[in-house]
Amino acid sequence: MSRQIVSVIGGKDAEAAGTPYTSVNPARLDEAVAEVRLADAATFAAACRSAAEAQREWARVPAPVRGRVIASIGRLVEENAATLAALVTREIGKPYAEALGEVREIIDTCDFFLGEGRRLYGQTVPSEMPDKQLFTFRVPVGVAAVITAGNFPVAVPSWYLVPALLCGNAVVWKPAEYAAASAHALYRLFAAAGLPDGVLNIVFADGEQTYAGLDRALAEGTVHKVGFTGSSEVGRRIGELCGRHLQSPCLELGGKNPMVIMPDADLDLAVEGALFSGFGTAGQRCTSLGTAIVHTDVHDEFVRRFAAAVAEAKIGDPRDKVLYGPLLDRRFAERFEEYLTWIQPHHTVVTSPIGRITADNPRGGFTGENGLYYHPVIVDGVRPVDRLFTEETFGPIVGVTTFRTLEEAIELANLPGYGLSSSIYTTDPRAAFRFREGVGAGMVSVNNSTSGAEAHLPFGGNGRSGNGSRQSGMWVLDQFTRWQAMNWDYSGRLQKAQMDVAEIVPDLGFRL
């Protein structure tokens, strides 16, 4: 039986009126997971006003106490890990082992930030004048509007929610509607930790109503920071909207992540990394492998091994031990079918068949049912002018191209203009560091896949992948706090900076 879900504003369920939406299990399309009432723009703006009222008192709670709330959230998630992971698997089709890893990421994030409540350090700065002290303080920004995608329906939201709340902000969270049940469950765990009403609000809405509500809230001055994880196209719209209100959003967008295979690479290890980063979560990660850039000397052997690994991989029911399950939702399946039309006559598809897995288009060892399952695709011979090379392809498809020199590989890696994640397989440290220096990605892996994040390392991209903001670790604190400078003059007289400064005159003409 599916659950009935509505937005929660100020600690109370919003009125059930609204556009109905059904969240469906993509592994079994006849199974409804949740019945959701989608809110309108006015409801989103009202949630922001409620958050603004609650934030003032929350900011007065001592930061170490807020840290204890974060600690409680971590323990609650840990105690409910299996249930939450099973819900994620049911709602978006993520294999259960991956879903457990996603839940673990929330716990890790809480474990890191619970101590940051005692480390929201400012500085004592020496003054250029006597009897005067200078200080800096971190202060909360106010209300954060957080909009997240559904491919990581609980882990990625925690990257925003945990540090934002720790720093003394209130949050209005708009999750993906096709992952509404998972998001609502995470909200309930946060609320159970003792957050005051209105400090965390969850609003279910479609994209256009969310945008309109955000526009209204920004104009009313009830949103002071926007965090967005999603496509580069939508991120650009949100960036433009925030810019009109003189705000700098935190944008974590798409990727066309390159993996460079050098001639000295351990090919078995490289294939293992390409398989996981290219097809894990059915290729539906912002850090998924986009193009394998392979040295001509090892290209044929790499492609042969890669194709063999894909052919042997188990695909199907996400409750089983599989490489990947279904696509997230019908909209992503439709979009993936469009990506398949980008395959051109000059390409070589080294895997077969392609398209949706059905009785008429079967795959050996397939364990799924009537779901949104698609064959994995490797396309060789991709050229820099191809859409398969330049555009993000959100799904189980990986392109392959070749290079002769490391400089050429770096140029190819940067060419699409994204800058999220990247990888190089080599045993030469000089090549690894030259690649790191030349690639424009915010994250670089050496002999590892393009996918994978840790709670204490900065996560984020550049170019079409984001605006340079970073999540995770201490770096995200700069997204949810603002620096405030204070000077305290106790000299009893007005001392003017740069004017009343004592001067010691050196003898610059002195010579030995």
Q: How remote is the C-alpha of 203 from its chain's centroid?
A: 19
Residue 44: count other Cβ atoms within 10 Å of its Cβ: 28
Contacts of residue 66, Cβ cutoff 8 Å, sequence gap at least 6: 58, 117, 165, 166, 168
User: What is the secondary structure of 149-198 as a DSSP string?
Assistant: -SSSTTHHHHHHHHHHHHTT-EEEEE--GGGHHHHHHHHHHHHHTTPPTT
The angle at the Cα of 120, spanning 114 to 124, to the nearest 5 degrees, equals 155
The two structure tokens encoding residue 153 = 């329906």
Q: How far is residue 151's CA from residue 275's CA, in Å, rounded to a whole number?
A: 18
Can 411 be counted among the known catalytic residues?
Answer: no
Residues 77 and 216: their CA atoms lie apart, in Å, by 34
Amino acid 221 reads G
HSE toward the beta carbon, residue 14, CA cutoff 13 A = 26
Cα(318)–Cα(315) distance, integer angstroms: 8
Rounded CA separation 138/482 (Å)? 6
Taking the C-alpha atoms of residue 181 and residue 4, their distance in angstroms, rounded to an integer, is 9
Of 412, 361, 360, 422, the residue nearest 389 (C-alpha): 412
Q: Which of 185, 209, 193, 190 is nearest to 3 (CA)?
A: 185
Give residue for tokens 């209105």.
198
> How crowded is the C-beta side of 15, counted as CA atoms within 13 Å?
7
| Catalytic residue, candidates 240, 252, 312, 369 | 252
Q: Pick from 438, 413, 150: which is nearest to 289 by CA?
A: 413
Question: Which residues does the annotation mark as catalytic?
Answer: 252
